[in-house]
Homo-oligomer: A and B are copies of this chain.
Amino acid sequence: MVKGQKRPAGCIVERLSIYRSVLSRLMDNKGRTHIYSHELGALSGSTSAQVRRDLMVVGGYGTAAHGYEIQLLLEAIKKYMDKPEPAKIALAGVGNLGRAILTYLAGDATNMKVIAAFDKDGRKNRRTFEGVQCYPVEKMEEIIRNENIDVGIIAVPAEAAQDIANIMVKGGVKGLLCLAPIFLDVPENVHLEVADLGIFLRKTVFFATH
């Protein structure tokens, strides 16, 4: 028997991303200006101690009186995580999953920009999705290289994923987010992030039924 799920362990970067989105929403929608570590913890699935530790990394600006000033915190996180220029992104595969991510990014794409999408399906080329132009896969390597794209998102079926990854790497991406249910082989110097929805579902099912 497994010992009872631990919080997904996620590294700091993951949690900082979460804090960031929670804080933005809090500031924009509720007009909050300050927050305590235990509140932020509750809103992001973490503990107060964890929050304080994380915030130390970006330079803790909290006061005992009012906690953290949200504005300041967001700037500190941004400074820690973001490069001055928005990251350039390419998307391969404009199926349901690809479109879902475009929709998401149309809402919150702070410091990220999807430069181009690619699809094998000729009918999708020349079209735009959420304002992003779709090109044939044959042009991918060239466009990635010319536009200096940083990150590739792989939202194609598992069978095609490795080929797509190879082309993206040849084009010069430094990171890949693979949404297909397969583990890709990429060079050491390219960061691979795997987000397989099926695995998450299996995990959920496991913990729900045990």
Contacts and interface: CB of A to CB of B under 8 A. Distances in A.
A43 B183 contact: yes
User: 5 shortest A-B CB distances, which residue pairs?
Assistant: A175-B208, A96-B100, A9-B9, A191-B207, A97-B100
Interface string A174-210: 1111010111000000111111111111111111110
A191 B176 contact: no
Given A177-B201, A181-B21, A206 B150 contact: no
8 contacts: A8-B9, A18-B199, A97-B100, A104-B181, A108-B181, A112-B202, A175-B205, A191-B204
A87 interface: yes
Which interface class (under 10, 10 to 19, 20 to 34, 35 or more) fits A?
A: 35 or more
A183 B44 contact: yes
A133 B192 CA distance: 36
B197 A195 contact: yes
Nearest to A153: B201
Contact of A96 (B21, B99, B108, B203): B99
Nearest to A155: B100
B6 A203 contact: no
Contacts of A173: 208
A14 interface: yes
Given A6-B11, A183-B18, A183-B45, A151 B104 contact: no
Interface string A88-128: 01000001110111011100100010000000000000000
Nearest to A42: B185
A108 to B, nearest CB: 7
A150 B205 contact: yes
A63 interface: no
